Structure 1
Amino acid sequence: MNAPEPYKSTPVFDENTLPAGLRKEHRTKAGVWGIIRVLEGRLRYRVLDPITETILDPDHPGLVLPDQPHFVEPLGAMRMQVDFYDRNPSA
């Protein structure tokens, strides 16, 4: 079975254009998964329930589970994008 295609993607953000809403607690809707893809640089990904912290880079994307509170923080210069899915993209 092929991996699902995202139904929506954000623009590519850098450390200056990353929206404030992504830098503070937010969540996807129920039934929506996200994959945070770092294209260049590094990004801190903090999940608040359960509490975890991961450093994302081009080789290590971050999986956002439905309705899971989280936020991101750039670690210097970076470029990133989020892809959204209507089912678990890693299943």
Structure 2
Amino acid sequence: MAEVRPYRSTPVFDQDTLPAALRARHTTKAGVWGVIRVIEGQLQLTWLDPPSVLLLDALTPGLILPQQPHFVTPLGAMKMQIDFYDQPPPGS
């Protein structure tokens, strides 16, 4: 069985370079899963449907399901990256 790998990853963003679009409500496309990986610091992930919040850090990634509305909020200095998958990522 082939290893599931992301088909695309964002650049590494910090608290200053994190795009405004990621700080506001947005979704992934149909058939696309996202995994938010915090490299340094902390980031708050807010899902809007169903409503919930998760504090992300280097040990706690955030899973975004296809078309799931969400946004992120940096909590001080941080670095993060998002990996995109066209099938459920490992550990999901």
How would you bin the TM-score normalised by the shorter chain?
over 0.9
- 1:53 aligned to 2:60? no
The secondary structure found in structure 1 opposite 2:45 is strand
CA offsets, 1:18-75, max 9 Å, x none?
0000000000000000000000000000000000000000000000000000000000
Match of 2:64 in 1: 64
1: CA distance, partners of 2:35 / 2:70: 13
- 1:39 aligned to 2:39? yes
1: CA distance, partners of 2:29 / 2:65: 9
2: CA distance, partners of 1:3 / 1:62: 20
Q: What's the C-alpha RMSD, in Å, of the aligned pairs?
A: 1.1
| TM-score (structure 2 length as normaliser) | 0.95
| TM-score (structure 1 length as normaliser) | 0.96
Following TM superposition, by how much is the alpha carbon of 1:2 offset from its aligned partner in structure 2, in angstroms?
5.5
Kindly report which structure 2 residues correspond to 1:1-40, keeping only aligned pairs within 5 A, or say none: 1=1, 3-40=3-40
Match of 1:79 in 2: 79
* Paired amino acid for 2:57: D
Q: How many residues align?
A: 91
* Paired amino acid for 1:86: D
Task: Extract structure 1 runs of 4+ deviating beyond 3 A.
Answer: none
The secondary structure found in structure 2 opposite 1:18 is coil
Following TM superposition, by how much is the alpha carbon of 1:3 offset from its aligned partner in structure 2, in angstroms?
4.3
Unaligned ranges ≥5, structure 1: none
